[in-house]
Structures are given as structure tokens and as C-alpha cells.
């Protein structure tokens, strides 16, 4: 057991030729196992148990199922992104005002295979393991890095957003250019809440961000323009409270955003909807859909915090306080065949108030018709606290997954009036725990393959939460019923501290078919889990 190494002077911003190759293949490394500081005033019992000051013997069981880890951050890791073409390459940003690009490929030690994960339950004194090396450090951060994203379609750039409102864009390191060169910066807002890359094929290297003043900004990146590498494509100012989440349609033509004032706007970023004659008076010519709290059917007291667009691009689901979800139809600007991926984003926080379950009588599917554009298709409430995260499954499944601050996951069937198919009340807390012991679900995401390939694992849903555990569920029901869990749980992976003590999982990525999950930990560590 060894304490995590702290590094004040980072040596990774300039790489050698060999280190440049790390973008695809990392050199060998060993693992370091991290340990919390000893609790004060405790002593050791006869069998090695901790003895509290009151004489109570407390048995401590720690487990680390990870195959590799990254520990250069000195504070919580708040955001994580994955390279669109090389899923083994990830970028993370944290509360230590730093961001890194690193490889999540577990290294081999002697050529005999990967370093095995160290389990404290099976091996009380595991051999130390060296953390993953950084490919590059993304310098010039002025505050906590709250958002990070690789651009589409090829990951040519990586962008960071800070709590001081600074947007930085870097060239992703390659063999020919091994440093993360700062391309450009912008600082137009007080605080950046989220960043999303645009998937539009005609507008590569375009990103959107949402700010605490409610504004939404869209930039395009052109490194060849030294005078103005960041160009503002559009700005939107209709939200009257912090913009908490956004989601592009799969074709990248429309951008849906939500805010704490319970407003939803779907922006015509590139003018293609206007060219097709689709407008909304509430959007002032900029939005094709606009719904606010003035509409009592749509209103969510406490605000909206998450959003996701269906794979077909026909509907958007938004989640907010007290477990409320609203489903709204979108205009179709392209054929369903052109849309192959789901866009979504997680939000932050909501209030706690138990509520019932409601269903909209109007039929709906993941491909809304033109007449449904802007229409409220469903009003759902099956969970007791804020909806932190939403994710749509890919065809042929038609499910919407929702993760809540109350520790539960709900699955709704979009093809059957969004009927509640499954509610997992203890997704990220034990069955025996009281309601106040619930650990919030931070992210849910269906496993995807992308690039038009078949997706045999499309029935698998991955989740993470404040309990520090990554779990995977078979939404068809599954055959594994873990003690106290059931509901299709097929696997769980531990390694973060969890337990509501700053050790939760704040996000994850699982590109490349879901065989590997890489996490962003509130304990300052990124873990790599092999999930066969």
C-alpha cells in the first residue's frame, strides 16, 4: 500500500518520439494502490481489525477491481471525455485546475498478460501498481475544469471549460505533433456548465457550451486561422436561469438545451430548419421549439437538469426536480436512416420530494412525426428526486433510462406510451438502507458501438453513482440476481472510495463497444475497468 504520488511540476506537456506513440500504444507501467489516511484515535485489534475509541471492532473491507488507474489529479475529477476514433484515449479535468490526456489501455508488466486488478478481499497486501502516464497536460486552466470534450468527427481538438468561464481549445497530440498545443481561448461567460461536440458532417470541429447566465454559445475551430481560431457560430439568450444541460440531434442540425427556469429550447444552429420552413414564434426565429414554465403542463418546479435526444432524432426527453420527465416531439430535418447515434448530457442536482407516476395518453415513439414537433408527448414521474441523467437505447430497443438523485433507475418504453417497464429503487444503494442513505445515480448510458456496426450489447445499460460503484444492467431482465439487487444486474466494479465521503463516480466513458469503462472519481482518481 502506498500513498498517491503528488507532482507539482508536470513533465508531460512536451513528449519524446517514443511518448508520442502513446496516443495508440502505452509503454509498460506498474500499478499504485491508493490508501486513505489512518483514522485518528483508532487502534488495531487481535486479528488486525480497527478498534474505535469506544471499543467497537470495525471490520474494513476494501476492493479494487480496476485494471489500471490514473492518479495525477490532486483533487476531484469532475469530467471525462473519450477520443471518437481511439477510445483508449481519454481526457479528464478536475478541481485542481488541471486537465490531462492519457491512455486507458492497461499496460503489461512482463509480457505475460495485463496486470491483474488488486482485490483487498483476496489479497490483503497487493503488489504496488504504477499509474498510467499522461500523454499531455492541458495548461492554461484558470479554475476548476468543469467540462471537457473531443471534437467530432476525428478528435482533432480537445476543449475544456472552467468554472471561471474560460474556454480553451488544444490540438490533440499526434505522432507528428506530440504536444497539446493551445489553439485558442475565449472567455465570454462567468461559468461554463457543459461542453458538447457537434456531430454535423458539414460542420466539423464545432462545439456548444451552456453557461450559468443561461446563455448558449456555439463555436467552430479552425487552427489554420491564426488571427481567429475560434469563431462564434451562434449565441442564444432566451434561458432566464443557468443552462444546465444540452443535447445535439444525431445529425447535428438541432441543439436542445434546458435550464433551471424549467425552459426547453431547441435551436436552429445552422439555419437548416428555417430553410425548411420550420420555426417557432417563442424562439424569436432562432428556436424551432420553445417550452417554458408558463405552460403548466410542461412546468417543473425546481428546474430541468438533464436532456437526451432519441437515436432517430424525433423526440427529446428532459429531466428535472422531484423525478419529473417531459418528452417533446422534434421536427424531422433528415430521414431516420441518417440518424444512428444518441446525444445526451447529464445535469446537476434537484430537490427531494416523493411523487407519483403519470403517463401521457398520447402515443409516442422515438421518431416523432412532423405534426408532433413541439408537442408534449409524455409527462412522467416514477422517481422521488431529481433526474440527474437520461439515455435512450438504440434500435431495435425503444427504451429511455433515467437515473435519479434518490439512487434509483427507471426504464420507460417509448414504443408503448412511455410505460414504466422497470424501476430499480436500489440501483446505487443497498435494499436495507433508509431513504436518507440513498446514493445519487450520476450517469446512465446504454452501450453503443457507433459507426453503423451491429450492436449485440445494445441491451446493456451502465450506471455509476455516489456510492463509488460502476454497475451494468441487462434491460431485458437478465438472469443474474445479485443479493438484494436483482432487476437484471449483470456486473459491478468497485475501486473508488464511495460511501458519500467524496469518493463517488462523477462520470464515465465506455466507447468501443462497452468492453472497457473508464471513470472520473470524486476521490481524484480515474479507474479503468475491464467489463467482459
**What pLDDT is attached to residue 245?**
98
Predicted local distance difference test score (pLDDT) of residue 178: 86
Q: Cell for 146?
A: 468543469
Q: Are 216 and 257 in contact (CB under 8 A)?
A: yes
CA angle in degrees (0–180, nearest 5) for 117-464-168: 95
The Cα-based distances of 397 to 408, 415, 459 in angstroms read 21, 9, 7
Q: Which of 213, 235, 231, 195 is nearest to 78 (CA)?
A: 195
Give the separation between CA 162 and CA 169, rounded to whole angstroms. 12
What pLDDT score does 111 carry? Answer: 41
Question: Among residues 184, 266, 196, which one has the least CA distance to residue 227?
Answer: 184
404 touches 385 (CB < 8 A): yes
Strand 324-329 relative to strand 243-248, pairing: unpaired
Question: Which of 30-34, 58-62, 300-304 bottoms out in mean pLDDT, i.e. has the lowest?
Answer: 30-34
**Which range (52-66, 370-384, 459-473) has the least confidence?**
52-66
Checking if the pLDDT of 329 tops 50, the result is: yes
Is residue 259 a contact partner of residue 240, using CB atoms and an 8 Å limit?
Answer: yes
pLDDT range class, residue 532, cuts 50, 70, 90: confident
More reliable by pLDDT, 386 or 61: 386
Pick 518 or 514 by higher pLDDT.
518
* Per-residue pLDDT at 280: 67
Q: What is the mean pLDDT of residues 258-284?
A: 86
Higher pLDDT among residues 243 and 59, named by residue: 243
Beta strands in 212-301 (DSSP E): 216-221, 230-236, 243-248, 255-259, 264-267, 287-291
Q: Are 378 and 326 in contact (CB under 8 A)?
A: yes
Q: What is the mean pLDDT of the chain?
A: 80
pLDDT per residue over 476-501, tens digit each?
864 443 433 457 899 999 999 876 66
Higher-pLDDT residue of 134, 476: 134
Note if the bond before 448 is cis, omega within 30 degrees: no
> How far, in Å, CA of 172 to CA of 174, rounded?
6
Higher pLDDT, 417 or 45: 417
Of 19 and 498, more confident: 498
What's the pLDDT at 519? 97
pLDDT higher than threshold 70 for residue 396 = yes
> Residue 272 in 3-state DSSP?
helix
Question: Lowest-confidence range among 244-248, 285-289, 461-465, 488-492?
Answer: 285-289
Amino acid at each position: 500500500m502506498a500513498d498517491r504520488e503528488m507532482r507539482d511540476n508536470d513533465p508531460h506537456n512536451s513528449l519524446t518520439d517514443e511518448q508520442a506513440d502513446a496516443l495508440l500504444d502505452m509503454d509498460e507501467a506498474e500499478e499504485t494502490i491508493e490508501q486513505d489516511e489512518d483514522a485518528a484515535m483508532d487502534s488495531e485489534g487481535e486479528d488486525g481489525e480497527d478498534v474505535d475509541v469506544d471499543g467497537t471492532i470495525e471490520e474494513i473491507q476494501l476492493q479494487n477491481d480496476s485494471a489500471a488507474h490514473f492518479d495525477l489529479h490532486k483533487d476531484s475529477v469532475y469530467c471525462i471525455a473519450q477520443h471518437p476514433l481511439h477510445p483508449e484515449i481519454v481526457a479528464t479535468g478536475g478541481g485542481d485546475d488541471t486537465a490531462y490526456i492519457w491512455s486507458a489501455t492497461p499496460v503489461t508488466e512482463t509480457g505475460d498478460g495485463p496486470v491483474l486488478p488488486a482485490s483487498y478481499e483476496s489479497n490483503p497486501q497487493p503488489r504496488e501498481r504504477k499509474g498510467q502516464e499522461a500523454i499531455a497536460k492541458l495548461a492554461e486552466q484558470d479554475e476548476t475544469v468543469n467540462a471537457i470534450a473531443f471534437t467530432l468527427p476525428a478528435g482533432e481538438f480537445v476543449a475544456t471549460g472552467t468554472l471561471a468561464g474560460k474556454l480553451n481549445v488544444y490540438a490533440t497530440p499526434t505522432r507528428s505533433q506530440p504536444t497539446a498545443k493551445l489553439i485558442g481561448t475565449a472567455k465570454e461567460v462567468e461559468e461554463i456548465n457543459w461542453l458538447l461536440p457537434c456531430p454535423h458532417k458539414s460542420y466539423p470541429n464545432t462545439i456548444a457550451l451552456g453557461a450559468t447566465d443561461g446563455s448558449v454559445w456555439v463555436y467552430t475551430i479552425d487552427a489554420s486561422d491564426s488571427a481567429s481560431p475560434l469563431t462564434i457560430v451562434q449565441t442564444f439568450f432566451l434561458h432566464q436561469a443557468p443552462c444546465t444541460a444540452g443535447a445535439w440531434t444525431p445529425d447535428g442540425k438541432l441543439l436542445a438545451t434546458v435550464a433551471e427556469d424549467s425552459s426547453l429550447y431547441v435551436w436552429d444552429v445552422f439555419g437548416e430548419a428555417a430553410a425548411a420552413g420550420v420555426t417557432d414564434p417563442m424562439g424569436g426565429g432562432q428556436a424551432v421549439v420553445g417550452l417554458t414554465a408558463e405552460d403548466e403542463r410542461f412546468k417543473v418546479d425546481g428546474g430541468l437538469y438533464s436532456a437526451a435526444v432519441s437515436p432517430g432524432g424525433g423526440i427529446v426527453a428532459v429531466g428535472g426536480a422531484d423525478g419529473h420527465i417531459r418528452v417533446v416531439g422534434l421536427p424531422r430535418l433528415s430521414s431516420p436512416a441518417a440518424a444512428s447515434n444518441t446525444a445526451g448530457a447529464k445535469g446537476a442536482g434537484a430537490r427531494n420530494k416523493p411523487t407519483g407516476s403519470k403517463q401521457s395518453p398520447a402515443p409516442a415513439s422515438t421518431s416523432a412525426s412532423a405534426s408532433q414537433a413541439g408537442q408534449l408527448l409524455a409527462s412522467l414521474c416514477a422517481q422521488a428526486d431529481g433526474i440527474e441523467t437520461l439515455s435512450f437505447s438504440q434500435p431495435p430497443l425503444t427504451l429511455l433510462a433515467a437515473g435519479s438523485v434518490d439512487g434509483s433507475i427507471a426504464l420507460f418504453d417509448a414504443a408503448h406510451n412511455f410505460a414504466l417497464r422497470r424501476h430499480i429503487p436500489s440501483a446505487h444503494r443497498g435494499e436495507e438502507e433508509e431513504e436518507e442513505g440513498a446514493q445519487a445515480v450520476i450517469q446512465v448510458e446504454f452501450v453503443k458501438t457507433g459507426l453503423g456496426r451491429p450492436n449485440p450489447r445494445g441491451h446493456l445499460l451502465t450506471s455509476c453513482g455516489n456510492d463509488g460503484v460502476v454497475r451494468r444492467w441487462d434491460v431485458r431482465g437478465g438472469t443474474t440476481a445479485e443479493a438484494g439487487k436483482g432487476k437484471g444486474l449483470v456486473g459491478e466494479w468497485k475501486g473508488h472510495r464511495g460511501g458519500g465521503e467524496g469518493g463517488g463516480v462523477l462520470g464515465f466513458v465506455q466507447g468501443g463497444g462497452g468492453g472497457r469503462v473508464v471513470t472520473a472519481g470524486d476521490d481524484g482518481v480515474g479507474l479503468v475497468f475491464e467489463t467482459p
